[in-house]
Structure 1
Amino acid sequence: MITLRRALAAIVVATVAVGLVGCTTGAESEPGDSLDTAATSGVAASGAAPIVFAFVCETGVSGRTETYTTYSAVWEDDRTDCRARRITGTTMSSQQRAAVDAGRGDATLEGLAATCALRGSGPWARAVDSAAEANVAAALLLYCPGHPETGHLRDAIAAWRS
């Protein structure tokens, strides 16, 4: 009887595992390189998905741009002139909503995404000199806590408050 139960349990586990593999085999961990929104223009969204951005950055070569799908890739290439471009999603995540709320009207979701892609410039490199800049800095700390220059931003906010 115990052997039969173990055999049935093994079959159930194997079936679930195969089902999960089938669901994730074609999945991508990052959005694709294509930003062609025409392919989905006739499709009605069902449900809510978090907003995801790609980053279109100037390369410094006669108006050419390069598109990145992760912040770390932008940081690695040391790009400083980037804009965020929404590639998917319909609803802000709780983290995105909290960051926009912390901005108190001085930060937009797209602005936070674009600024998070930067390194060594903007709020990541200068002092906080106004309440609006303090709001944006606080929003950035919530939006992109993994940014390599959050230490500077925290120090700049502390200096402003003191």
Structure 2
Amino acid sequence: MITVRRALAVGTLVAAAIGLAGCTAGAESEPEDSIDSSATAGVSASGTAPIVFAFVCAVGSSDRTETYTTYSAVWEDDRTDCTAQRITGTELSSQQRAAVQAAAGDATLEQLAAGCAVRRTGPWVGTVDSATEAHVAAGLLEYCPGHPETDHLQDAVAGWRS
């Protein structure tokens, strides 16, 4: 009995090894083994990708900062002093383009992104007292409609217009 079990076990291992060898026998070499760098000399990357930001926020009144990759993470930590830093991308998304146009030159894309990251500060809690502030508010409303304080900002803009 033991001999039959061993024979079955060895047969199973041999079959598995043959199956694995069959899978890799036709596999191509590693990409770096076949790259001819002279063939790609002078070639530049093409294509576009939407701009994505990381948010670098002050932690309290110290010199320490924390970096976030989503607005919601910044909102959860109640950060009020953040900058936006591009981490990837080359082209504005349609939402980003609309936000910059709504800001009418009174805020850059980076300023709007940083403004979307914070809460309980700036236009999210203040009043709109000038055309410049109204433009920035319009840009923020376009760029981050899901901000937790959107209702206040919409009311502030409506108050300024009336």
- TM-score > 0.5, shorter chain as reference: yes
* Alignment length (residue pairs): 120
Structure 2 residue 122 is matched with structure 1 residue 122: yes
1:28-47 superposed matches below 5 A: 44-47=44-47
Letter in structure 1 aligned against 2:107: A
Give me the TM-score of the superposition, normalised by structure 2: 0.72
Partner residue in 2 for 1:20: none
CA distance in 2, matches of 1:157, 1:45: 43
Partner residue in 1 for 2:134: 134
1:4-83 superposed matches below 5 A: 44-60=44-60, 62-83=62-83
CA distance in 2, matches of 1:142, 1:62: 32
Say what the alpha-carbon RMSD is for the aligned residues.
1.3
Please give the per-residue CA displacement for 1:83-130, whole angstroms capped at 9, x wherever unaligned: 000000000000000000011110110000000001010000100000
Letter in structure 2 aligned against 1:109: L
Please give the per-residue CA displacement for 1:17-54, whole angstroms capped at 9, x wherever unaligned: xxxxxxxxxxxxxxxxxxxxxxxxxx954201000000
DSSP 3-state at the match of 2:55: strand
Partner residue in 1 for 2:85: 85
Structure 2 residue 143 is matched with structure 1 residue 143: yes
Q: Structure 2 unaligned runs (5+)?
A: 1-42
Give me the TM-score of the superposition, normalised by structure 1: 0.72
Structure 1 moving runs of 4+ over 3 Å: none
CA distance in 1, matches of 2:61, 2:45: 38
